[in-house]
Amino acid sequence: MGTPFFYTLRQKIATITKIVKVHIYSYSRPWEVNTMALDIHPIHPLTSRAYKQEDTVIQVGNHKIGGGTLTLIGGPCSIESVDQVMSVAGSVKGSGGQVLRGGAFKPRTSPYSFQGMGGDGLRILKKAGLHNDIPVITEVMSTDDFDEVEASADILQIGARNMQNYNLLKRAGQSKRPILLKRGMSATIDEWLNAAEYIMAEGNSQVILCERGIRTFENYTRNTLDLSAIVAVKTLSHLPVIIDPSHATGRADMVPAMAKAAVAAGADGLMIEVHNDPANALCDGPQSLKPEEFDVLAKELRKIHEVVRNA
């Protein structure tokens, strides 16, 4: 019988705990100085560099995410039909993409917007992945749907709106699947890393962080892409970081430039929306690239990554 996980967890956290002495001065008796020891440890120890110095590398199919590789995730925001997903899957794979994305359950701001095909969408996505020999990622929105999504996807995504859904994070921590955790639109980096901590504390160390833009006063773009988060997170944490320039900008014309900037800043990968007919997409068409545009961008991103890796 192996060592219980939480026992090992406590042991490892203890190795990165620092004991500091604090001098306490009394205003009423300034000549008296008391000294006490406090335990200081990182607020998100499992995700921290102090816990693990080397970069985490996550195996998905035949591809490794993190550790110096560039991961390209492409596909439609929402699964709309068999033909649509099959077409885009073939294009993404042909352009060198390693993971196919597609939303079956869609959290939308308006209750009247298209919210995905649900279980039917999952089956279409899984079929497209198997047919094109490419791993798939899709969002899981609740613990009620977790088992169904887990059985269909190679990577499970927890979206920005659910970043602090603690029951969902804990359930994700019990999964054997890699989890892509998007940063909440108003979340600080510490809050984001603590959300990842919930997953890791349950035993799942396969966490991928995704910066998808944060809410600011600027309204020209859908969100404001925080490229500095790449450097900050890579300093604080060993987890891989990818960027979603599609949701960050909300504009297809800005996606290539932001994707290139992300790779130059050291991102481990990109998640880019690709649609074969953006003008008639049921969800987020204005931020989706056409397959031929994704193909051109993928080539450019690999060139930039090669330069950065060899710099």
Average pLDDT, the chain: 88
Q: Rounded to an integer, what distance in angstroms lies between the CA atom of residue 163 and that of residue 145?
A: 16
Cβ neighbours of residue 10 closer than 8 Å, sequence gap 6 or more: none
Q: Rounded to an integer, what distance in angstroms lies between the CA atom of residue 23 and that of residue 224?
A: 43
In a shared domain, residues 216 and 78: yes
- Per the rule left: phi > 0, alpha: psi between -120 and 50, beta: everything else, 67 is left
Q: Which residues of the chain have pLDDT under 50?
A: 1-7, 17-27, 31, 33, 36-40
In a shared domain, residues 179 and 135: yes
In a shared domain, residues 14 and 115: no
Of 247, 72, 220, 85, residue with least CA distance to 159: 247
Task: Output the pLDDT for position 282.
Answer: 87
CA 66 to chain centre: 12
- Alpha helices in the chain, H assignment, sequence order: 5-15, 82-94, 119-132, 146-152, 166-173, 189-201, 228-236, 245-249, 255-264, 291-309
Beta strand pairing status for 71-75 and 63-65? Answer: unpaired
| Distances from the Cα of 78 to the Cα of 127, 285, 298, angstroms | 15, 10, 21
Of 83, 126, 100, 68, residue with least CA distance to 268: 68
Q: Specify the number of domains making up the chain.
A: 2
In a shared domain, residues 104 and 36: no
Cβ neighbours of residue 123 closer than 8 Å, sequence gap 6 or more: 152
CATH number of the domain enclosing 164: 3.20.20.70
| Distances from the Cα of 302 to the Cα of 74, 209, 234, 268, angstroms | 15, 21, 20, 12
In a shared domain, residues 26 and 87: no
In a shared domain, residues 98 and 139: yes
In a shared domain, residues 239 and 131: yes
Task: Output the pLDDT for position 43.
Answer: 77
In a shared domain, residues 186 and 61: yes
In a shared domain, residues 20 and 151: no
In a shared domain, residues 32 and 119: no
Task: Output the pLDDT for position 10.
Answer: 54
Per the listing, tokens 């869609």 go with 106
What H or E segment, with its residue span, contains residue 180? Answer: strand 179-182
Structural domain span for residue 34: 5-41
In a shared domain, residues 161 and 223: yes
Pair 257, 52: CB distance under 8 Å:
no
In a shared domain, residues 54 and 95: yes
